[in-house]
Structure 1
């Protein structure tokens, strides 16, 4: 039996989701990756940039550029960590907090579209599988 092309489908789905979010958030300039940072900061105010990077599975160089763009757009502010001058903390600005609300609306809308036609049990299996993919990839990465 030939296995389904899950990796190909997963990569295509990821690109499609990012494009969908990017197209609908072009007025904010935040995009899918920026929304991930904002969502993280909404739940972890004044987070260390290293913690945000790890939570999102990003590279330090990629995160540096993304944070610079979010800072220029007025969504986040940086400050030195009081306990470690080498460490940087990130916080949402009022503009960033409003952007989180807009990003949530977009993601909620997309979730409704993505789950249309699937019952709760089917969605639960997809969720469990995606969480499994993440765990397996992190363990072996």
Structure 2
């Protein structure tokens, strides 16, 4: 294990889990930010692009929840990306009160960002054994299930 992960004294397992979770998130964010700059996007813009690629036709509220940024921040990012021709706004015929957001067909045809992001994880774990990859997946699934269970309505 990396030495810097062993330095703090952990008073309990939850502190270590939180530390590791935040450390992994920071590394991921920093490296995605670096990749996004190569294509002329900021980290938050890249997050919005990825959010829309996974959840097309989202509303501003849905997208805000998806990427974990405030509605006003997401609105500003959307405005800039609409101006760049990356994002389009659509008002559905059946509900004129909402605006759906999606990536423009031109951007989707001409970009390699999704592929680069997907390759980032693949490249990051290519040195891991099958057993290590399975441990990562199982650990993340357990954490996911525990967090989801925590938010289920109690009977």
TM-score normalised by the chain length of structure 1: 0.72
User: Gaps (5+ residues) in structure 1?
Assistant: none
What are the superposed Cα offsets for residues 1-44 of structure 1, whole Å, 9 maximum, x if unpaired?
Answer: 95372211211221111111111221433344434433443354
1:96 and 1:62 mapped to 2: Cα distance? Answer: 22
Aligned length: 140
Q: Tell which structure's C-alpha radius of gyration is larger.
A: 2
- Runs of 4+ off more than 6 Å: none
CA distance, structure 2, for counterparts of residue 5 and residue 20 of structure 1: 22
Contact 2:36–2:46 at 8 Å: present in 1 too? no
Q: Highest relative contact order (Cα 8 Å, sep 6+), 1 or 2?
A: 1
Let me know the Cα RMSD of the aligned residues: 3.1
- The structural deviation recorded for 1:57 is 4.5
- Aligned mates of 2:69, 2:141 — CA distance in 1: 17
**Residue among 19, 25, 29 paired with 2:40:** 29
Give the unaligned 5+ runs of structure 2: 1-10
d(CA) in 1 for partners of 2:95 and 2:114?
Answer: 33
Assess, with a 3 A threshold, how the Cα gap between structure 1 residues 61 and 120 changes in structure 2: closer, same or farther. Answer: farther
The 3 A distance-change label for structure 1 pair 76 and 123 is same
Higher percent of residues as strand: 1
